Chains A and B, each alone.
Chain A
Amino acid sequence: MIEYKKVTKVYDSDIVAVKDANITIEDGEFVCFIGTSGSGKTTALRLINRMHDPTEGEIFIDGENIQDYSPVNLRRKIGYAIQQTGLFPHMTVYENVVTVPRLLEWDEKKCRDTAERLMERVDLPIELLERYPSELSGGQQQRIGVIRALAANPGVVLMDEPFGALDPITRDALHDLVIELQEEYNNTFIFVTHDMDEALKLADRIAIWHEGEIIQYDTPENILSNPANDYVRSFIGQDRLFDAKTNNIKVREIMNDNPFTITPGKTVSDALTLMHEKRVDTLFVVDDYNKLLGRVTIEFIANVDDQSKNIMDIIDREIRPLRADDLIQNKLREVLRRGRSNIPVVDKSNILVGIITKTTLVNLTYNLIWDQDIAQEEILEEGLSE
């Protein structure tokens, strides 16, 4: 567990890089520090391995103040990877990978085993160990950078925008690799980035930094659904907020919760009267406990000669209702494909709780777009007023 307690870092007596930061990172958690350049995220990271010392406040790792360690011993226990690989060009890949184990004076066999195991783990041929970094591709180099940070199996791993210079495909592969490795070794990862997509993909929790302060520290889901303020909202970007909104809407939230129903035992004539009264073309048939049985529609009734017939004779049971807890995004296609105007919504015990109509969907779309317009206008206005 890493705790920042009222940590402030001031450079050159007047540049405040980190301002009164309080944050707790649990063991085995993957935390992304995100922010623009100058937001304090990198300084905050480098405080952990004492590349900088705080001006005020303290940082604890597993309850121990890091000021009590010598910087050198502390750093050997913490994995470290930086942008542009940071591999030593004059050392072979093997020497690079076992840098920290050698500083820790592991014996040669253990170093060799570790290096070979890690190379296999990240799908790199063992022969590459004898090459120099300049002979490797960018993606391979950064893999080496990652396994070098993990070589001594540190409890905490710090990464400072390690994949910034890579192409999107290589980057994606490395993201997956880092996630796998983190789950496998269960290290605590702190990962600095300025890329929201990267943070959303990797992080268990994201800390958003702005002008030296943590504006929001929460899970990606919560940040997307409840941005703390306009800065966070603009940082996340409208597109992602829009996606997040549609992604997380449940059927329950948009359904009309007042469907028109009819009980078994009623006649076709009764149904017609009710439809006429309520100006609808479909009635849902429910039992006394409001459990959904089926429906009757105007088309069915039109084909019936005897209006005194029980509606149970003409009931349509092929209705495939939606569940109230389904996410709209998962069901939208299905709803549209079915081409029916009314779809009943039931809860877990098949009790009818609402109805989705085409109007509901149109309203949903309209609201989302309209909301987005408003949000964008607000941001524009803010920009102008500044």
Chain B
Amino acid sequence: MTDITQLPLWEQVIYYYEANGAYVFDQFFRHFLMAIYGVLFAAIFAIPLGFYLARNAKIADWILAIANVIQTVPSLAMLSILMLAIGLGPNLVVITVFIYSVLPILRNTYIGVRNVDENILDVGKGMGMTNWQLVYKVELPLSMSVIMGGVRNAFIMGVGVATLGTFVGASGLGDILQLGVNASDGASVILAGVIPISVMAIVGDLFLTWVENRLDPTSK
């Protein structure tokens, strides 16, 4: 058996993938799920709240200020605090991603809904739409691209936060990074972890940008 540390770096990475492909794929999937669940739950929570805030501008300032403060807490600190309450494991990561995702989605929803042209709303109401019809026929489609912008930000951040899952026993691609950091001559292992994380963030960003543009009513 050759000494793989003597190979060029990229060959070492390929070697790593050849040897541990299933493991990397497994961690990739796990990482992705932690990020996406957190963002999904945040969207389910923050989008309706954003609509509510858009109609109640007075409390909106308060809620957005609180969300901003939460956002300033470092993610590792947040994980540690929440760990006291929730314990270790992937659920903790999902909840942390959720908390960090609420602000961008909430803020974008609020802005998106507030920016819907008042004339359009007026004419919708004037033609006899109920409040609910106004929301799902007019406001939601017209603000969807801005909301998706928030979801995109949240997802990229979620991918980052999920990397920390390795410290709280949640696994994910962070495990591979951690392995590389602890190993001597572990550069190739670190790379093997960084590449899928980057791919996930970049491809997710591109995909969500595409969705965002598709939903933009002005592009039609």
Interface, chain A (partner B; CB < 8 A):
46, 49, 51, 72-77, 80-84, 86, 88-90, 99-100, 103, 132, 134, 148, 158
Contacts and interface: CB of A to CB of B under 8 A. Distances in A.
A86 B123 contact: yes
A80 B126 contact: yes
7 contacts: A49-B126, A51-B126, A72-B130, A86-B122, A88-B137, A89-B120, A89-B220
A75 B127 contact: yes
Nearest to A133: B220
Interface string B121-144: 011111111100100011001100
Given A90-B141, A103-B133, A75 B218 contact: no
B217 interface: yes
Which 6 A/B pairs are nearest by Cβ-Cβ distance? A76-B128, A86-B123, A75-B128, A90-B217, A80-B126, A132-B220
A82 B122 contact: yes
Interface string B101-135: 00000000000000000011011111111100100
A381 B20 CA distance: 95
Contacts of A72: 128-130
A46 B126 CA distance: 9
A83 B124 CA distance: 13
Contacts, number: 58
A66 to B, nearest CB: 13
A145 B105 CA distance: 34
A381 B8 CA distance: 96
A73 B128 CA distance: 7
A103 B126 contact: no
Interface in B124-178: 124-130, 133, 137-138, 141-142
Nearest to B216: A90
B166 to A, nearest CB: 43
Given A82-B119, A84-B119, A103-B133, A89 B126 contact: no
B220 A90 contact: yes
Query: What is the predominant secondary structure among interface residues of chain B facing chain A?
Result: helix
A281 B163 CA distance: 114
Nearest to B123: A86
Nearest to B144: A90
Contacts of A89: 120, 142, 217-218, 220
Interface in B167-203: none
A75 B130 contact: no
Contacts of A103: 127-129, 133
A204 B120 CA distance: 30
Contacts of B129: 72, 103
B126 to A, nearest CB: 4
A44 to B, nearest CB: 15
A99 B127 contact: yes
A134 B217 CA distance: 9
Interface string B201-220: 00000000000000001101
A76 B126 CA distance: 8
B127 A51 contact: no
Contacts of B217: 89-90
Nearest to A149: B127
A75 B129 CA distance: 8
A222 to B, nearest CB: 32
Contacts of A86: 119-120, 122-123
Contacts of B127: 75-76, 80, 99-100, 103, 148
A82 B141 contact: no
Nearest to B145: A90
A202 B125 CA distance: 26
A378 to B, nearest CB: 40
A311 B130 CA distance: 87
A132 B220 CA distance: 6
A132 B138 CA distance: 15
